[in-house]
Amino acid sequence: MILKRFAYIRVSSKEQNEDRQLQTMKNAGIEERDIFIEKKSGKNFDRPTYQLLKQLVREGDELIFDSITRMGRTMNETLKEYEWFVEQGIHLTFIKEPMINTSNDQDDVIKVAIQKVILTVLAAFAEKERMDIKIRQAEGIKAAKLKGKHLGRPKTVITGEFKEIYLKWKKKEISGVEATKLAKVSKATFYRMVKEIENN
């Protein structure tokens, strides 16, 4: 018997959207307060929300993932985490890979053995996919550099107007807060531009 149902949603970066996974969990009947969302890479399990969830779940609870890749993307670590939940008596459900869902008949040795083989293969593919993404990103950056494209933050142009603001700030005629407001830039950008002027 399931005592309480939780769901864990993970996307790799702040730019990615978790709405699809969230809707999937709501469709599965999980209350929003029991859905834990995290925007972190799956390369390790040093994730605050995931670790908090591990402390909350108890024997007899169910933890739902959209996919094994949402749990993690490193084979050995993912297998250890899966085993930890099994040992704690927590039911694991993977919507996209129901063949690795845990159940009450974990005493069926053959079934568990087959499940472990499938889990290992899926976890290995998840790790390979992560490595492939990293390689593609590195190749993309290299290609962009060869084409002379500027990567990272766009360079801030230092105008004559900014130089005037800088001189006023330097002479202590205006404060740093006033200077950033006049220049219409953030504090970090202001001091980066100041450093650029002083270095030149």
User: Where does residue 22 rank: exposed (0-12), middle (13-18), buried (19+ CB within 10 A)?
Assistant: middle
Q: What is the pLDDT, as a whole number, of residue 104? A: 56
Residues above pLDDT 70, as percent of the chain: 92
In the predicted structure, residue 61 carries a pLDDT above the cut 90:
yes
CB 120 within 8 A of CB 79: yes
pLDDT, the chain, mean? 87
Residue 156 in this model has a pLDDT that exceeds 90: no
Please tell me the predicted confidence (pLDDT) of residue 106.
Answer: 60
- Whether 6 shows a pLDDT value over 70: the answer reads yes
pLDDT digits (tens, 9 = 90+) for 157-181: 778 888 899 999 989 999 989 989 9
What is the rounded CA–CA span in Å between residue 178 and residue 164?
A: 13
Model confidence band, residue 94 (pLDDT cutoffs 50, 70, 90): very high
Q: For the purposes of burial, counting CB atoms within 10 Å of the CB of 8, is it exposed (0-12), middle (13-18) or buried (19 or more)?
A: buried
Tell me: the pLDDT tens digits for 101-155? Answer: 987 556 677 777 788 889 889 888 888 887 877 787 777 777 767 777 655 566 6
* pLDDT tops 60 at residue 90: yes
Q: What is the CATH number of domain 5-128?
A: 3.40.50.1390
7-46 pLDDT, tens digit per residue, is 999 998 877 889 999 999 999 999 999 999 999 999 999 9
Distances (CA, A) of 34 to 4, 19, 30, 77, 160: 9, 15, 7, 24, 54
Q: Is the dihedral of CA 131, 136, 140, 142 positive or negative?
A: positive
Write down the domain spans for the chain. Answer: 5-128, 160-199
